[in-house]
Amino acid sequence: MKMLILLGLLSGLPALSTDMYLPAIPTLQTLWGISLAEANISVVAFFICFSLCLLVHGPLSDRIGRRPVLLWGLGLYVASCFACALADSIWVLIAGRATQAVGAAAAAALSLALAKDLYSGVRRQRVLASIGVIMPLCPMIAPMIGGELLLVMSWRGIFVCQGATGLLVFLGCLGLEEPLDSFTSGGFWPVIKRYGVLFRNTRFIMLNFALTFMGLGYFGFVGGSSSIYINGFGVSEQAYGFLFGLNGFAIMAGSLLSARLCASVTATALLRCSLAGMAAASTVLAATGGPNPTAVALCMFGITVFYGMSRPISNHLLLELVQQDVGAAAALMTFSLFVWGAVAMLVISCNWESKAGMLGWLGVLGAGVPLLAVLAMRRPCAEPAADVDG
């Protein structure tokens, strides 16, 4: 259980870093006289730097070990959180957020790699689903905490709390034993070149490309939710935190449902059903345009339930396709997801007549592409054969 909680926290650190900060974006717009697009650069910069650094941390952990990369990343994360708290302009904050992303990338990349190292078969699928239950606690409570903190202190307190949380995770990882007993060889560039080996695994690359579209609706919501709820519907920061937190609960519910069904239903069948459900909820939001906060919240709840259900299944199916360079594979999986997430956040920042309606269209695209790809492939990957520990 301790390892499950630790893996869940490592996976949830990027969400914590982003979602706790979201309620403060309208405040920073007023304080510094900036637009939503300018304020969102601090969010998008995090995602871009986070995604690029994933590509380094993954193969680097294959070369020198999971533990040293993880501890270095968490240490940098803690230091950059306190640097963000001292920012006096949006550009200084963007620089701090970019550095924060470098550290968070180590945690996110290695959480998947550690799941592959320590577990296998149906056991891994259940572990990934269990992590999917634990991980959404971060996005569920982070905006609520951020909104409440704004009642008693300035936005700077949000980053102080993030730093304190990162420090606790760092201390928890100090007792982690190195799981690898063999390492890749060579210097920096030979390590990076391992991606060339990975890209020759065409089934992994093609399926990964299709499945990374799944997060378009969810990440679009992350980037546009404060504008939709606070600026558009006039809800308070505290009410916004609650409405946003519902999506964390939805992801948790979807992951729990996945964990319950994975022993009796094949992974590919579960994935098809979850993608179909996500497409249906997204279509409703796109068609109605989200006329009020309740309608948006209900549609997004449906989208994120099925998104939460699909994530552990898709991660498991992809990990089944790699037997070496696991760190690089895990990094590429997360990198692809967050790159498309950054694209979705940039798209939703534009001046759409209905941002909620655009969220729906992002969700339709995000569910439709992987659903068509999975339906077109007779066997996306091998189904798990045994329930064993790695």
Output the furthest CA–CA distance in the chain (Å, rounded). 58
> 67-76, 158-167, 326-335: lowest mean pLDDT where?
326-335
> 65-69, 120-124, 230-234, 330-334: lowest mean pLDDT where?
120-124
Question: What is the structure's pLDDT at 146?
Answer: 79
Four-point Cα dihedral 246, 250, 256, 258, nearest 10: -170
What is the average pLDDT score of the chain? 83
- Per residue in 95-117, pLDDT tens? 999 999 999 988 887 887 787 77
Q: Is the pTM of this model over 0.75?
A: no
Neighbours of 175 (CB within 10 A): 8
pLDDT top residue among 279 and 27: 279
pLDDT top residue among 209 and 196: 209
Question: Does the pLDDT at position 341 exceed 60?
Answer: yes
What is the average per-residue pLDDT within 336-341? 81
Using alpha carbons, select from 321, 366, 302 the residue that is nearest to residue 340: 366
Phi-psi region of 133 (alpha: psi -120 to 50; beta: other; left: phi over 0): alpha
CA angle 272, 276, 321 (to 5 degrees): 30
CA angle 313, 318, 321 (to 5 degrees): 135
Alpha helices in the chain (DSSP H): 2-19, 25-32, 36-64, 66-85, 90-118, 121-134, 137-152, 156-173, 188-192, 194-199, 202-211, 216-226, 237-261, 267-288, 293-319, 326-348, 355-376
- Per residue in 175-205, pLDDT tens? 888 877 777 666 667 666 777 888 888 888 9
Question: Does the pLDDT at position 388 exceed 60?
Answer: no
Question: What is the structure's pLDDT at 379?
Answer: 52
